Amino acid sequence: MIEIERKFLVKDNSFKSAAFNQNRIAQGYLNSDPERTVRIRIKGNQGYITIKGISNETGMSRFEWEKEIPFDEAKSLLLLCEKGVIDKTRFEVKIGNHTYEVDEFYGENKGLIIAEIELQSETETFEKPHWLGQEVTNDKLYYNSNLSMNPYTKWQ
């Protein structure tokens, strides 16, 4: 139940032509405390509840527990979430032995595109496509829970 992932900014939209899947996602936070975030997500026609623990010092690893829940329940729970429900499209792009999840944000986070890759260990090697930009793994500004409260378009 430990998630190991790295996050990167994305330089351009060329990843879209390589995507084998995409889904619109709405997600909100019942609790955005970094020590125990509780997220509600609607991805396509499915609902999920996810609990994440605090990240380790590298920002790569943290506890994650997720369960699928009925769509109608997720929709109702989104109404209880803290201000700032996130709207994004997730593109899945296979590069080598890994799948990048590339999120293109809308609304108050429009203009932001982040790629995430899940790994088996913090030292695992992986291919970096040309569209991958600066690593932001340990930058809390780019955590979705922060983007819901402190949106990208307000950073200027």
Distance from chain centroid for Cα 19: 16
113-118 and 61-69 strand pairing: unpaired
In the three-class reduction of DSSP (H, G, I as helix; E, B as strand; rest coil), residue 56 is classed as: coil
CA dist., res. 105 & res. 115, Å (int): 11
Examine the residue annotation and report whether 29 is marked as an active-site residue of this protein.
Answer: yes
Q: Which residues contact 156 (CB under 8 A, 6 or more apart)?
A: none
- Measured torsion, CA atoms of residues 46, 61, 110, 130, in degrees rounded to the nearest 10: -110
The residue whose two tokens read 């809390």 is: 140
Which of the residues are catalytic? 29
